[in-house]
Amino acid sequence: MPDGFETGHDGGTAVVVGVDGSETSLRAAAYAVGVCRRQGSRLVVVYAREPGGGIAQLMDTTGSSSAAALRLQDEVERMLRQSQTLAEAEGIRSELQVRTGDPYQVLSAVAREVRADCVVVGSSASIGHRIAGSLAVRLVRNARWPVTVVP
């Protein structure tokens, strides 16, 4: 089957939403739940854990910053697992994909694997993203799926 060939189907198949625990990503998840409920789609929640290492780890001689970051990531993952249970109680088929890596790369890989109909992300509140470009901007410019950015 050619790479660009679209298999016909009625209704939605999968909505991928990127969640990192921020307020805007949680709003994006709520939006994606609504889309899935209306379209009968499967919800695929993606959490991209930050990879360890780099300059920050070299500067953290006590390991306290790295340990705090890991605890925060573990807490976000626990919260997402609880939310998955709530979505399933609402009758929405859902799954949680937790991977380590760059959020853009992780979201793109999962969307490709599940043959996503769309990708939903929250807008970035970081000033640095205005200079370097946010995840949402990267997805809109480079992705092969419709992208919804939730404020």
Record the pTM: 0.74
The DSSP bridge partners found for residue 44 are: 16, 95
The percentage of the chain sitting over the pLDDT mark of 90, rounded to a whole number, equals 28
Q: What is the pLDDT of residues 58-89, one digit of tens each?
A: 555 555 566 666 676 677 767 766 666 666 76
Q: What is the pLDDT of residues 5-25, one digit of tens each?
A: 455 555 568 999 999 888 888
What's the confidence (pLDDT) of residue 129? 46
Residue whose C-alpha is closest to residue 125's, from 47, 58, 26, 1: 26
pLDDT at 51 over 70: yes
What's the confidence (pLDDT) of residue 90? 74
What's the confidence (pLDDT) of residue 130? 46
The DSSP bridge partners found for residue 106 are: none
DSSP string for 30-51: HHHHHHHHHHTPEEEEEEEEPP
Q: Return all residues near 67 (Cβ < 8 A) that are at least 6 apart.
A: none
